[in-house]
Structure 1
């Protein structure tokens, strides 16, 4: 198993995930219409870069203005025909920048900024009914923010505005965190039901394991899939970095994921994110096998430090480590008949996932036109 198994463009994506990309001030000025249009929205660490498409199937969210982007191997350039290109180890690849959503400056009927509840990346809307989080994961920039439950009407109206956006058309939806406290389960379940039953787009749910029958209710309402994110497998490290998930425990995670797979099936319908770079490589790979054995697609997410968090000064993993983890993880999931997620190709932009030419990976509707 060698990195030579990877193509140059695959290595380019992995390098961008680990080291970012260089963009000169001149090109920044040009791409931002003289500084009038932002190149990125820094609303979350793993989406805070510029989202690029190489060829037909490679998407990457590449950080460019963070402290750890001081020695990138890739550089955004402009070719002789005025076409955007990426220079990587002396080779040039045509590139396309995905636009930001068109609702960034919009407000709802009550004057609330739409981005308080929704954000779009690639072809997916991410809906956040909870501001802040009841969990205290040390890598997350929700840490320290005041926990706030957004009014249901604000969530629904913001979603409709995002769904109608033509700048970055959405093909599916994820109802995401922060994680609600137990006292707000009725509220979040109402949000789930309203969105799932009324949205013309497929709706996935990101949630932590619960001891009630929420999976059954969500499947009955018509949920498209689940993201049940483990994030850190090593017990000692998870006790410090993801303490609430550590208290949930691997046993409940396994039961919850198994039940989700039983109810909605495999084929990427159930995913679980695991961070690369916060624990020893072997522990990450054990986590990949733990998830794959359950019929769940592991999603490898390279750690990126977020400003203002306890892990803000931790260096992201190097591309060589990412390549090794990817190749070994690919072998593991093949043994269990699952894939590295997500299956949606544009949604792979901030994950260590690469299309393999099979029908297992797909575009939602016509999102390959992005």
Structure 2
């Protein structure tokens, strides 16, 4: 099995963890890659589902590393990745970041303000609430933004000063390379752009690091200029689903923002942030066909927008928790089709200054770009 296929299989089928595997705890609930664990396979850090029903029956399993050496620390012993009981690779876990051990002057642990994603990305949800989340008639059915807040694993609003403080520490102590700031959608016309701008300005005043901001399209596209001026290097505006019937069914509130509005916003944002510095999430497995995802990706690429394609992972506690993720054959074909279009257009995740596409750990797409 080649590396491309292995990455696709792991993200589609998930991974069973041996209970005694050192360092194997993953992240449950919340925004971003939830119910996942970051592992390093052949030098590539990848986020793999570990707390899902599919992962529980996956043919892939991490066996516990048995340390028989009196001189090698246990955390340095690599667990083994197995498929159907056969060892296929050694893997590693990204190290626990040092900044997790710190707290603010008023006693808030840094890890409640921002988290390590992959191995060198700092990620935060600046507003952990959304105007649509608490109403099933409007909520995105895949979303778990409120779970980590309810479990006291985060705080509802991260202040600009807190974010600047944590970012500085993460860069200094752990070598963080870029920052991802996302937000739940507030009931304001700017859709969170104003607060993201304020937070970015505070971070850049403290440390020079590339930042991606993520929000829905603001009503006034002049916010893109203000975001850029505040130090935001790249922008994510996430479609998730691409056909009207799937959007209406899966995310009824967000679907009221039309596809054409998104594409108008994409075009305006590329004019500000530049070719390849605007991206969007596409969640494969929600019901969109392969052709619909490829055609939408092609339209995005022609605009200079990077289509960050991620296999849908059902999160426990959401309405879609029992929905099966897309199979690996579907994802492989999708990655091949879109990867070729990225190559033809000269669009690469490596050229993105900051954000999810730059990180790439939640998708195997970057492995198909070359």
Is the structural similarity TM-score above 0.5?
Answer: yes
> Aligned pair count?
340
RMSD: 3.0
Aligned-residue offset at 1:200 = 1.6
| Mapped pair 1:191 → 2:187 | no
1:49 aligns with 36
Is the CA contact 1:52–1:62 (under 8 Å) kept in the aligned structure 2? Answer: yes
Task: Please give the alpha-carbon distance, in whole angstroms, between the structure 1 residues aligned to 2:260 and 2:107.
Answer: 45
CA distance in 1, matches of 2:9, 2:300: 26
Structure 1 residue 340: deviation in Å? Answer: 6.2
**Residues 286/205 of structure 1: CA separation in 2 closer, same or farther (3 Å cut):** same
Matches for 1:26-45 after TM superposition, within 5 Å: 29-32=20-23, 39-44=25-30
Displacement after TM superposition at 1:278 (Å): 0.3
Is 1:101 equivalent to 2:97 in the alignment? yes
Shift of 1:140: 0.8
Structure 1 position 71 matched with structure 2 position 57? yes
Moved over 6 A (4+): 144-147
Deviation at 1:158, TM superposition (A): 3.5
Q: Distance in 2 between matches of 1:188 and 1:356?
A: 32
Unaligned runs of 5+ in 2: 70-76, 133-138
SS at match of 1:330: helix
Aligned pair in 2 of structure 1 residues 260, 242: CA closer, same or farther (>3 Å)?
A: same
CA distance in 2: counterparts of 1:211 and 1:253, whole angstroms: 11
Assess, with a 3 A threshold, how the Cα gap between structure 1 residues 356 and 197 changes in structure 2: closer, same or farther. farther
- The alignment status of 1:116 with 2:112, answered yes or no, reads yes
Map Cα deviations across residues 210-269 of structure 1 (whole Å, 9 max, x no partner): 122111112223322111211110111112322343222112211211122122222x31
What CA distance in whole angstroms lies between the structure 2 residues aligned with 1:197 and 1:93? 43
**Judging changes above 3 Å, is the alpha-carbon distance between structure 1 residues 91 and 327 closer, same or farther for their aligned structure 2 residues?**
farther
Equivalent residue for 1:214? 223
In structure 1, distance between residues paired with 2:105 and 2:7:
40
**Pair 233,296 (structure 1): closer, same or farther in 2 beyond 3 Å:** same
- Do 2:159 and 2:199's aligned partners in 1 also have CA atoms closer than 8 Å? no
Q: Deviations along 1:330-358, whole A, 9 cap, x unmatched?
A: 23334444246895788211113233686
Task: Write the mapping of 1:216-231 to structure 2, written as runs, cut at 5 A.
Answer: 216-231=225-240
CA offsets 1:279-329 (integer angstroms, 9 cap, x no match): 222222222123112111110111111122111111111111111111122
Contact 1:202/1:223, CA 8 A, preserved across alignment: yes
Counterpart of 2:72? Answer: none
Q: Which sits farther off after the overlay, 238-247 or 334-343?
A: 334-343
Shift of 1:148: 4.1
Note the alpha carbon deviations across 1:166-204, whole angstroms, 9 max, x for none: 3xx311111112233317654443223222444321111
Shift of 1:49: 2.3
> Which residue of 1 is the match for residue 74 of structure 2?
none
**Alpha-carbon contact 2:198-2:230 (below 8 Å) kept:** no
Give the TM-score normalised by structure 1: 0.81
1:140 aligns with 2:140: no
Structural mapping, 1:285-324, within 5 Å:
285-324=294-333
Contact 1:124 1:173 in 2 (8 A): yes
